[in-house]
Amino acid sequence: MSTRRDFLQIAGLSTLALSLPLADTLAASVFSKEDKVLRVAIMGLGSYGTRVAEAMKESKRAKLVGVISGTPSKVETWRQKYGIPDKNCYNYENFDQIKENPDIDAVYVITPNSLHKPYGIRVAKAGKHVICEKPMALNAAEGREMIAACKAAGVHLLVGYRMHFEAKTLEVVRMQRAGEFGKTLFFQGLSGFIIGDPTQWRLNRELAGGGAMMDIGIYSINGSRYMLGEEPIWVTAQEVKTDPVKFKEGVDETITFQMGFPSGAVASCLSTYALNNLDKFYLDGTKGFAEMQPSTGYGPIQARTNNGPIEREHITHQTVQMDEMAAIILDGKKPVIPVDGEEGLKDLVIVDAIYEAVKTGKKVMIG
C-alpha cells in the first residue's frame, strides 16, 4: 500500500513537466524526521474540533499539545484522551496566559463565528499564531481587524481552507492554470444540506452572523475564485425562505447568487440549509470541463474532466491541512492556493456584497 509520503512524491514528479511551481510545492511536502513540529492548542472542543484532533494523530508536522474550552468536563476528557499536560489546559477566561507557555506555538480557533475575531485577536496578542475556521469573521471589517492585530503581533493568521490542500482539487486548479480547459467561462457551485437541531448555534444570528451562507455557502464563494483563477467584480443575489420559524430574521435559509469576473466569466451558485445532496462544483471552458461531486465534503472527493476521472489517493483533509500549515508557519512555504488572512478577507468582502444584494435587490460592485 502506498503511503502519504509516496503519494506526495509521485504527485510532485507527475506535475513537473506541466507546472514547476506546483510541482515544487508538492515535492516540498515530503517532510523529514528532522523537520520541526508545530505545537497546536485547539480552542473549541466540539464535533469539528474533535475531527481535527483525530486527524492530527497522523500529522507529521503538527501535534496537539493544548486545549481551550469553557466546559471543564470536555477539558478533562481531552486531557486524558490525548495526553495533554495540565499546564496546557485553559478556559476562555484565562487563555491569555498562553503568552507565558513556550510549549504552544499556535491556537486553532474552532468556535462559533462571532467569537473568531475577539478570540483570534487575543491569541495574537499572546504572541501565538492564529489558525481560524472559516468564515474568518462575521464581515470584512472584522476580518481587517484580525489581519491588523496579527501583523502587529508578528504572528501568522491562517484560515481553515482544507480544500486548498486536497489533491484532486489541486489537480483541477493546475489544469485550469495550464490552460487545459481553454478559456474558463462558467462556474457552478451548489452547497447545501438540510440542517438539523433548530436550537444549534448555526441558526443563532448573534453567534453565526447569518445562516447557510456563513456555513456552507462560503465553499462556493471560495471555490469559484480558485477554480476560475480570478476575483469577482460584481454580485447579484436572491433569498428564499420557506420556514421563517426555523430561520429567523437575519438567518438565511437559501440564497442563490451570481458573480461576474473581469474575464467575462460568470458564476451561478446556491447556498442552502433546506436541501440535501448539494455538494457540486462545475467548471466549463472553451476546450473542456471539470466536475467535482462531492466537491467539498470530508471525502473522498470525486472529480472528472473531459479527459476522464481524476485519480488521487484520499488522505484525511485535516491531516494534510495541518501538515501544510505547519510548513507555512515554520518553513515559510507558499501554498498553491493561499490560506492566509488576506484570502479569508476576500471571501468576507464577497459575503458582505451578497447580503447587500439580497437586501437591495441590486447588482453590487466589488472593489
**Domains of the chain from N-terminus onward:** 4-162 (3.40.50.720), 166-313+341-365 (3.30.360.10)
Phi first, then psi, for residue 330 (nearest 5°) are -85, -30
- pLDDT (0 to 100) of residue 18: 38
- pLDDT (0 to 100) of residue 142: 98
Active site residue 273: no
- pLDDT (0 to 100) of residue 275: 97
pTM: 0.91
Q: Is 97 helix (H, G, I), strand (E, B) or coil?
A: helix
Given a cut of 70, the residues of the chain with pLDDT beneath it are: 1-34
Q: Tell me how far apart the alpha carbons of residues 299 and 225 are, in angstroms, rounded to a whole number.
A: 21
For residue 249, give the amino acid letter: E
- pLDDT (0 to 100) of residue 34: 52
pLDDT tens profile 182-201: 999 999 999 999 999 999 99
Length of the chain counted residue by residue: 367
Give the count of beta carbons closer than 10 Å to the beta carbon of residue 123.
32
Active site residue 219: yes
- pLDDT (0 to 100) of residue 35: 77
* 250-to-116, 225, 245, 273 alpha-carbon distances in Å: 19, 26, 12, 14
Closest CA to 55 of 325, 320, 296, 326: 320
Q: Tell me how far apart the alpha carbons of residues 91 and 87 are, in angstroms, rounded to a whole number.
A: 12
Catalytic residue among 60, 117, 128, 134: 134
* 181-to-99, 172, 298, 312, 318 alpha-carbon distances in Å: 49, 10, 26, 20, 29
- pLDDT (0 to 100) of residue 200: 96
Catalytic residue among 119, 219, 226, 355: 219
- pLDDT (0 to 100) of residue 7: 36
- pLDDT (0 to 100) of residue 367: 84
